[in-house]
Chains A and B, each alone.
Chain A
Amino acid sequence: MSEFIHAKSIKNNEVRFSDALFYNFLRLITVLIIILFASVFVFLYRSSEPLFLEQGWSFFKETTWSPTTDTYGVLAFVYGTLVSSFIALLFAVPVSMGSALFLTQLCPRFLVSPIRSIIELLAAIPSVVYGLWGIFVLAPFIKNYVQPVLSGLTPGLPFFQGPPFGLGLFTAGLILAIMIIPTITTISIEIFQAVPKLYKEGAKALGATDWEAIKIAVIKPGMAGVLAAITLGLGRAMGETMAVTMVIGNRADISSSLFSPAATMASVIANEYAEAGSNLHSASLTAVGFTLLLISMLVNFGARYIIKKFRGPI
C-alpha cells in the first residue's frame, strides 16, 4: 500500500486515537504470538534439561536407546528419519516432477484442474488414515510381494535381506512418498508456471522438440525453485508422525536392511511418551523432540536460502 494510506489527511484526534488503538491492538497480538513461538523452544529445552545434565553431549553420539538401563541416544532415530525421508524423496521427486511438467506443459486444458484437484485432495487425507491403510493393505503387500522379489533379485546386497515383517523403513518411506507428492507437485507447478512462456517459444523456434524445449527452457530456469520444493517436501516427511509410527515397526535399531523395523524421531515420541515411566525417559523423549524441531527449522531455512540465493530469472 502506498503513501496514500499512511497520509493522515484528517487531523481529527478521535480518528487518530481509534486508528492508533486498532494498530497497537494488532501489534500486541503479533508480539504475543512471537513470544509464544519463542517459548516453544524455551519449554522444550527446559523439559529436556534433566537429560542433558545427566548425560551431556553423549546423547548426540549414542546409538543405543534403552529405557530399561537409562541409556539414551538419538542417533538410531536420526538414522530412521533420514533413511525413511530419503526413500520418500526417491519415489516422490520423479513422480511429482513428472506430474508438474505434464500438467503445466502437455496436458489438455480441460484436464488440468480436475487432475490438480485430485492431487491436492491427497494432501487432505489425514496421516492416521494413511497409517491405517499402511498397516492393513500396504504392509502385507510389501511383505508378500515386494520384498521377496527384491531380495531374490539382489542376493548379495544387504539392503533387501532379512525376515519379511512388512513393517519397516521401506514401507514407511513409501507411505511418506505418497504423502509428500502433493506438496512437491503443487509448488513445482507454481514454479513452472512462473517461467516465462517466451523461453519455451524461443527454444521451439530454434527447432527444439517439445521435450528439448521443456528441458532447456522450463526445467533449467525452474531448477532452484524445484530444489526448494523438494526441500520443503523433505521437511514435511521428517516431521510426519502418525503414518510412520504405524508402519515403521518401532525398533531403535540401525540395520543395513531397508525392510527391517526402525524408528524415527517423531515415531518414538508418539510411541513412548504417554507411557514414559522415569523422569529421565520423558526428558530424553523431549530432547529427541527438540532435536527434531531444530532439524525441521534448519531444513526450512535451507528451502528459503535456496529460493533467495538462486532466484534466477523467475
Chain B
Amino acid sequence: MKSPYNLTEQSFNRKLKNKFMKFIFAFLTVLALIPLFIIFLHVIKSGINAINYDFITQLPAPAGQPGGGIANAILGSITMVALAAIIAVPLGVLGGTYLSEYKGGKLSSVFRFVVDLMTSIPSIIVGLYIYSVIVLPMKGFSAYAGALALALLMFPIVVKSTEEILKLLPTNIREAGLALGIPRWRVIVSIILRGSVPGITTGVLLAIARVSGETAPLLFTAFGNQFWANSLNQPTSSLTVQIYTYAISPFQEWHEQAWGAAFILLLTIFIFNLVARWLLLRNKNEYM
C-alpha cells in the first residue's frame, strides 16, 4: 500500500499531466488552423492589387512588360473543366449507381477496388498517360487532352460521392417502387436518382472545385498558350498552369499577376465549395 501522502502527490501529477495534454491538443488544433489564414491573407493582399479590368479581359503582355491580363487562361480553364465535367459526370453517376444498386457481384467489387485505386493515382501520372494516349497520336497539345486528363481525375470522385448519397436512401423506397410494378431500371432512374439530385449535385460541385485547381495533369496535355486558342485542338492556357509559369519566371510583373490569378482561382474554388456545402445543409434539413 502506498501512503496517502504519495497518493495525493500522484494524483496531483496526474491532474497536471491531464491539464497539460489538454492544452497540447488545443494548441495543435490552433496550429492546424494557422496556415489557412496565413495563405489566405497573402493571396488576398498580393492578389487584389493585380486585379483590374484589363487583367480579366486582356491577353498576357510580353515577358517583362507591365499590363496585360489572363483572359485566355480564364476561358481555357472554364472550357476544359466544363468539357471534363460533361465526360466524367454522367459516367461517374452511372458508376456510382452501379456500385450502390447492384452490389454483391464480383464485377462490382472489382470496380469498387479500381475506383479506390484511381483516386490514389498521382495527378502527374494522369498527365503522362494522356500524353502517350492522346497527345502523341494527335501530334499536339490540345484542350481535348487537358479535359480528358481532368475527366480521369474527376470520375472516381463523382463515383464515390454518388454511391455514398444513394446508400443513404432507405431500402423501403426501392421496395415500394418495385411493389408498384415499376421496372427496376425505372425505379433507379426516376425514384432513386431523381430523389438524390441535390446530393449528387453537391458531389459534382466538389469534384469540379477539386479539378479546377489541378495543374500537373495539364502541363503536357493542354500545355499553355500566350494567345487565344482558336479551337479545342490547340494548346490551351489555363489559370493553374499560368500561375505556375508566372511564379517560376524571373519577372516581377508576372509574379504580381500570378498572385492575381491565384486570387481568382481560390475565390472560384471557395464559391463552389460554399455552394456545395449550402446545398448539402439545405438538403439535410429537408429530408432528415
Residue positions of B touching A, CB distance < 8 A: 14-15, 17-18, 21-22, 24-29, 31-33, 35-36, 38-39, 42-43, 46, 91, 94-95, 97-98, 101-103, 107-108, 110-111, 114-118, 120-125, 127-129, 131-133, 155, 171, 174-175, 178, 181, 183-186, 188-189, 209-210, 212-216, 219-220, 223, 240, 243-244, 247-248, 255, 258-259, 262, 265-266, 269-270, 273, 277
Contacts and interface: CB of A to CB of B under 8 A. Distances in A.
Given A23-B185, A129-B266, A34 B111 contact: yes
A68 to B, nearest CB: 21
Given A19-B184, A95-B28, A122 B22 contact: no
Interface residues of A, number: 88
Given A95-B31, A126-B269, A5 B25 contact: no
A266 interface: yes
Contact of A29 (B43, B91, B132, B220): B91
B206 to A, nearest CB: 8
A239 B120 contact: yes
Contact of B269 (A96, A124, A136): A124
Given A126-B215, A286-B132, A118 B36 contact: yes
A287 to B, nearest CB: 10
A3 to B, nearest CB: 11
A133 B43 contact: yes
Contact of B213 (A15, A105, A127): A127
A65 interface: no
Contact of B270 (A29, A43, A124, A128): A124
Interface string A19-41: 10111011101110110010110
Contacts, number: 250
Contact of A126 (B132, B178, B185, B214): B214
Max chain B C-beta neighbours (<10 A), residue from A126, A211, A300: A126
A83 B125 CA distance: 21
Contacts of A242: 215-216, 240, 244
B216 A266 contact: yes
Given A30-B111, A239-B125, 12 more contacts: A18-B185, A30-B98, A31-B107, A40-B121, A40-B125, A43-B132, A96-B32, A98-B28, A128-B213, A269-B127, A289-B124, A292-B125
A206 interface: no
A5 B114 contact: no
A133 B118 CA distance: 29
B213 A126 contact: yes
Contact of A102 (B26, B102, B103): B26
B28 A125 contact: no
Max chain B C-beta neighbours (<10 A), residue from A5, A105, A128, A178: A128
Contact of B125 (A44, A126, A128, A214): A44
Nearest to B259: A132
Contact of A47 (B18, B132, B185, B265): B132
B213 A34 contact: no
18 contacts: A21-B185, A44-B125, A44-B132, A47-B132, A94-B28, A95-B32, A102-B29, A121-B273, A126-B213, A128-B244, A128-B247, A130-B39, A132-B259, A136-B46, A212-B18, A246-B248, A269-B127, A296-B121
Contacts of B181: 10
Q: Which 3 A-B pairs have the closest CB atoms?
A: A98-B28, A126-B213, A239-B122
Given A118-B36, A181-B32, A274-B223, A5 B42 contact: no
B22 A239 contact: no
Interface in A228-243: 235, 238-242
A105 B28 CA distance: 14
Contacts of A25: 94
Contacts of B14: 209, 212
A285 B129 CA distance: 12
Nearest to A36: B152
A133 B122 contact: no
Contact of B183 (A15, A98, A209): A15
B97 A124 contact: no
B122 A128 contact: no
A23 B115 CA distance: 19
A239 B127 CA distance: 13
A33 B155 contact: yes
A136 B255 contact: yes
Given A37-B114, A132-B247, A135-B247, A98 B258 contact: no
A218 B219 CA distance: 44
Given A5-B184, A30-B107, A101 B25 contact: yes
